[in-house]
Amino acid sequence: MSPANIKYIGFYNVNEIKPNRSISLAGRNKMDYTISVLKDIFQSVEILSPACVVNNSAKGGNIKLQESVSLRLFRNISPNNRFCKFFNYYYSQLQLFVYLLKNVRQNDRVLVYHSLTYKKFIIWAKKIKHFKLILELNEIYSDVSQEFEKYRNLEKYVIKHADGFLFSNDLMNDMFNLACKPYALEYGVYKCSKSLSERFDDGKIHIVYAGTFDPSKGGGRAAVEAAAYLTKNYHVHILGFGTEKQKSNIKRSIDEVNRKCVATVTYDGLLDGDEFLAFLQQCHIGLSTQNPDAAYNDTSFPSKILTYLANGLQIVSVDIPAISQSKLAPVITFYKEQTPKTIAEAVMAVKNFEPHYELLNSLDNQFRGELKHLMNSL
């Protein structure tokens, strides 16, 4: 018999609730999908969000988002200065800790979206209340950046105390689940996007890179430089985000490549929401061109791959184990070397532009079964 309810901890808010709170849109999108699956397993899902306000003060409280789903937000003062921001950061965690002590019982299920922010408070609460902790590991922060290296032992400590896991790639179970605890696999959002636009009809094959311009991750620059080896019937679109310097550098690279190539490269800015999805649906191929030597490759999964698939695109990706050993591999065109020429050759090898929606539907069904089994086995 399924448990009656679950607490889901993560930085979460919805646009309709003011004032705004500091959250990751990609994180919220994944949480939204997980919540939609949890609703089929539990009688109720309560989201506990320690997200801090961006401006103005805010009262805490419980908000009903939909039938059987509620959101608990915590009180914040107005973040007018550094002290107030510092206060909110720890006050939100303290309120979350107290709320868990008051409202969670022994053996209740608590799913935690991985974050360095509130981990110690949650482990303390678990030791006192003895609830079942399921850790959703989307990445290992100490692999993402050197500035997080000092937290590696904390991440290991939290992983050790989890009763079950939600992993974002096929490699992580062997890496972290040494005690063979129950787990489920969730690369990202297995949900097809609603139809918002038709493909470009100008006789060209349109390729899109959507992501960071951070040079340490390499994806944006690699996508631009690959255009130099494409023929004139290709158009490469660059969408994404970065610092002003990073955006300036990517635009400069685009200008340089356009002066010497026969394909077209354009910078299309940073799009969001339906505008972003509509743009993707006009394209044919999505690029996942991240740095193959990055430490985080084995402990994360590129969310852009699921986004591309959900909008009907073909995928060209660097050949790294987290992707090539995934259930998505059969529909991805891989390249071995991180050079502009090999990326371009992989792009030009794509001839079939039919969407792979059936694979997403299959992964959705598998995940629902795995998550239900995980929750019931604790």
CA dist 77 and 57 (Å) reads 4
Residue 23 CB-half CA count within 13 A: 24
pLDDT at res. 217: 82
Contacts of residue 6, defined as CB under 8 A and 6 or more positions apart, other chains included, come to 38, 41, 42, 44, 45, 46, 108, 109, 110, 111, 375
Q: 205: closest CA among 349, 360, 359? A: 349
- pLDDT tens digits, residue range 44-102? 999 999 999 999 999 999 999 999 999 999 999 999 999 999 999 999 999 999 999 99
| Average pLDDT along the chain | 94
The pLDDT tens digits for 294-345 are 889 999 999 999 999 999 999 999 999 999 999 999 999 999 999 999 999 9
**Does the pLDDT at position 252 exceed 90?**
yes
Buried b (16+ CB within 10 A) or exposed e, 94-123: ebbbebbeeebeeebbbbbbbbebbbebbb
Please tell me the CATH superfamily of domain 205-355, with its number. Answer: Glycogen Phosphorylase B; (3.40.50.2000)
> Could you tell me the residue ranges of all domains in the chain?
5-162, 205-355
pLDDT band at 116 (very low <50, low <70, confident <90, very high): confident
- Let me know how long the chain is: 378
Q: What is the DSSP string of 93-108?
A: HHHHHHHHHHH--TT-
Contact of 283 with 292, CB cutoff 8 Å:
no
Give the span between the Cα atoms of 270 and 237, in whole angstroms: 11
Quickly state the pLDDT bin for 274 (edges 50, 70, 90). very high
For 139-175, what is each residue's pLDDT tens digit? 988 888 777 888 888 899 999 999 999 999 999 999 9
pLDDT exceeds cutoff 90 at 117: no
